[in-house]
């Protein structure tokens, strides 16, 4: 990763639909907007080659168990939540995120400061935010008892922070009580991406410890080990831009029986990384209704190393 300020961009405030939506998918694109004065000057002087592609693309696909975001070079991914992650045991103000299931990434607080050793009256300075490089996953367990997992197409460095200081009060409206200030959790890349990166996000458990009164039964934690592994094993295959539905209405059959009407789902399954050494590729993972699963007929794609990329309903 590089920290060149002349290549730092953020998505524009307006998105566009990249192509005509299909019954299965539409893609939203955000063009790049300079994030610093240097990147603005750079955009005036020369156009980077990567500007041919949008800075951020989000495919919205029916049945996908993940949220998928495709970032181009120069982007700085950011995930925010008004719900805070859980804190470390016996340390109520130490928030953390698990990196690759092994390391803890501590989230700095906006109120964390240090003072000069030479003078107690010296102005406080913020702690530098810690960062860790995640090879494949980030796991976030929130105070809502929800656990979310981030899946990465390649190793990426992240920092996180928690802002627990009161926000500036909104403009008061006569007769309306302003909402209380809300904390904010953020996880982000401290430097612009040096290469295109795909990030997927999935809810892996909504009853992790048994504390969510809406989703937990009898205050018991739900074991989602199998489901979590399933999401991790299949996260590297995403629906492609040409996902579509086709219909077949045969009029006659050779044996005289009633012809089948076939509804064919083509997910255009594609690896997160265009070139991968993983053989064979994992299957594409999608949700389906139970009565659809009962009548689904697998069609194995022949193009992508036996990647199961499409299904039909008869």
Q: Is residue 27 part of a domain?
A: no
- Would you say 51 and 158 are in contact if contact means Cβ atoms under 8 Å apart? no
Full pLDDT tens readout for the chain, 314 residues: 333 334 556 666 677 887 788 888 999 998 876 655 444 445 444 444 444 678 899 999 989 999 999 999 989 999 999 898 988 665 666 788 999 999 999 987 655 443 333 444 555 555 667 899 999 999 999 999 999 999 999 999 999 998 877 555 555 566 666 666 677 899 999 999 999 999 999 999 999 999 999 999 999 999 999 999 999 999 999 998 888 888 877 766 667 666 677 778 888 888 887 655 556 778 889 888 777 777 776 554 333 333 445 555 55
Q: Is residue 40 part of a domain?
A: no
- Would you say 134 and 100 are in contact if contact means Cβ atoms under 8 Å apart? yes
Cα 11 from Cα 272, distance rounded (Å): 21
- How many structural domains comprise the chain? 1
First-to-last alpha carbon distance for the chain, in angstroms, is 49
Q: Which structural domain range is residue 296 located in?
A: 239-314
Cα 72 from Cα 215, distance rounded (Å): 37
Instruction: Count CB neighbours of 270 within 10 A.
Output: 21
Per-residue tokens: 72: 């181009």
Helix or strand (DSSP H, E) at 125:
strand 125-126
pTM summary value: 0.77
Q: Is residue 138 part of a domain?
A: no
Q: Measuring CA to CA, how many Å separate 225 from each of 104, 126, 157, 217, 228?
A: 20, 39, 26, 17, 5
Q: Is residue 129 part of a domain?
A: no
Q: Please confirm whether the linkage preceding 86 is cis (ω < 30° from 0).
A: no
Per-residue tokens: 61: 């696909």
Q: What's the residue count for the chain?
A: 314
How remote is the C-alpha of 47 from its chain's centroid? Answer: 28
Q: Is residue 283 part of a domain?
A: yes
Q: Is residue 194 part of a domain?
A: no
Q: Is residue 245 part of a domain?
A: yes
Q: Is residue 26 part of a domain?
A: no
């Amino acid at each position: 990763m590089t920290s060149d300020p002349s290549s730092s961009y953020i998505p524009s405030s307006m998105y566009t639909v990249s192509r005509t939506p299909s019954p299965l998918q539409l893609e939203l694109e955000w063009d790049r907007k300079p994030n610093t004065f240097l990147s603005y000057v750079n955009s005036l002087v020369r156009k980077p080659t990567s500007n041919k592609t949008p800075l951020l693309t989000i495919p919205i696909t029916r049945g996908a168990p993940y949220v998928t975001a495709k970032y181009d070079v120069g982007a700085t991914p950011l995930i925010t939540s008004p719900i805070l992650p859980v804190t470390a045991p016996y340390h109520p103000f130490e928030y953390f995120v698990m990196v690759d299931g092994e390391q803890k990434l501590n989230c700095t607080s906006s109120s964390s400061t240090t003072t000069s050793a030479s003078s107690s009256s010296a102005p406080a300075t913020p702690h530098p935010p810690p960062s860790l490089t995640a090879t494949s996953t980030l796991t976030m367990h929130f105070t809502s008892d929800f656990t979310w997992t981030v899946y990465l197409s390649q190793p990426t460095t992240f920092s996180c922070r928690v802002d627990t200081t009161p926000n500036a009060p909104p403009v008061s409206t006569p007769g309306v009580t302003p909402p209380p200030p809300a904390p904010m959790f953020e996880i982000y890349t401290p430097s612009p991406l040096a290469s295109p990166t795909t990030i997927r996000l999935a809810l892996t458990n909504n009853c992790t410890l048994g504390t969510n009164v809406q989703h937990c039964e009898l205050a018991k934690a739900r074991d989602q080990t199998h489901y979590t592994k399933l999401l991790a094993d299949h996260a590297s295959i995403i629906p492609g831009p040409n996902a579509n539905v086709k219909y077949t209405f045969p009029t006659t059959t050779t044996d005289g029986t009633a012809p089948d009407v076939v509804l064919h789902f083509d997910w255009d399954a594609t690896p997160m990384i265009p070139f991968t050494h993983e053989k064979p590729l994992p299957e594409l993972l999608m949700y389906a209704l139970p009565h659809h699963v009962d009548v689904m007929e697998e069609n194995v794609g022949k193009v992508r190393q036996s990647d199961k990329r499409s299904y039909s309903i008869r």
